[in-house]
Chains A and B, each alone.
Chain A
Amino acid sequence: MCSFEENASIKLRKGCRFYLLVAFLLLLGAFAKPAIATEHVWGCLLYASNSTKAFDLPPPLSGYDVRLRDGLGFSNYRVIAQRETAVGDRLENVLVSAGEIQVLLTNLSRASDGKYLVGILFREGTNPVMETQARVGERSPLFIRGPDWREGQIIIVVMVGS
């Protein structure tokens, strides 16, 4: 039969092991988080024009106003459609669509450097227009200048962010 002191030291040692286990699990959780997180891909269709209406950018593109103005040459941007998709097992995920314009995600994988390899298909109705493969970072939007419409142009934006 163990005395009180023997029990105390055994409990103490068990307690230390428990702390180490908890610390290990915490570390594991912190590092494993990016690997097990569900990937979300945000797709957006913007109507870019030089109309005098107020500048209107969706929150994921906040901070891009100057770059958009300089890079695309339009001063006004209006959201036509936007959607955030949790990428599942399906081969083709519709990222965003408006009218006959459809933007589909054909593949998504994460490289060892943490960047994403994305496959995007731009379709008008059932006709494929353009397919691209790109390597993107998290929250790094890729812009595609689409067809002209009215006094401006349709801009497709795709951004991966968990």
Chain B
Amino acid sequence: MKTFEEKFNAWLDGLLSGEELKSFEHEHASILQDKAEFLKLKSLLRDNLGCRKLGNPDFFNSQIMTEVEREIARGGRHSRLLGLPRIALAGIFALCVGFALFFSMIPRGNLADPGSGYVAEVLKTRTADPKVKATVDNQKDMTIIKLEGLDKLPPDKDLNR
């Protein structure tokens, strides 16, 4: 079934005939009086909006065809470049970034226990005064050097300086 636009264009072009013409003009009686205006508008559009003809169409056609052939010839290489190697590089890059972020930003060790990973090993102690004796007490997560024989500090000594 023809649409109104199709029928209207056919009517303007004088292609409607017989029963179809009568039916269209009967249904759309109001457009009859404006037919001259429609025809004028149509001729104006045809004259001014028509395709511009190129002065040297062969040159442009040959350029376009050259580009198309070049594109076809490079199709394989181009797709290869955008294919597996690039995905592999992107994967390596993502892995590197992931490792870098992991090692630089995520603290290692058991954060819940401050003593986890505790290492304090006394290798050597030496006291200047022979009466002072240094002994090492290795406890779990706590290494203490005990100094025995030290003089007691006077109680009135101010250490808060």
**Hey, which bits of chain A sit against chain B, CB under 8 A?**
3, 5, 9, 12-13, 16, 19-20, 22-24, 26-27, 29-31, 33, 45, 47, 62-64, 67-68, 70-72, 80-81, 98-101, 115, 117, 122, 127-137, 139-150, 154
Chain A residues, CB < 8 A from B120 = 134-137, 140-142
B86 and A16 within 8 A (CB): yes
A9 and B128 within 8 A (CB): no
Chain B residues, CB < 8 A from A33 = 104
Closest to B81 in A: A9
B124 and A148 within 8 A (CB): no
- With A9-B81, A64-B114, A115-B119 known as contacts, the answer to whether A132 contacts B145 (CB < 8 A) is yes
**Hey, which bits of chain B sit against chain A, CB under 8 A?**
70-71, 74, 77-78, 81-82, 85-86, 89-90, 92-93, 96-97, 99-101, 103-104, 113-115, 117-129, 132, 134, 137, 139-147, 150-153, 155, 157-161
Give complex CA distance A30, B125 in Å.
36
Q: Report the minimal beta-carbon distance from B92 to chain A, rounded to whole angstroms.
A: 7
A63 and B100 within 8 A (CB): no
Closest to A33 in B: B104
Closest to B124 in A: A133
- A129 touches which of B90, B93, B101, B132 (Cβ 8 Å): B132
Chain A, interface SS category? mixed
B104 and A132 within 8 A (CB): no
Give complex CA distance A150, B153 in Å.
8
B128 and A130 within 8 A (CB): yes
B142 and A26 within 8 A (CB): no
Closest to A158 in B: B120
B147 and A146 within 8 A (CB): yes
Chain A residues, CB < 8 A from B86 = 12, 16
B100 and A29 within 8 A (CB): yes
- B144 touches which of A12, A127, A143 (Cβ 8 Å): A143
Give complex CA distance A98, B159 in Å.
5
- With A33-B104, A145-B145, A149-B155 known as contacts, the answer to whether A131 contacts B119 (CB < 8 A) is no
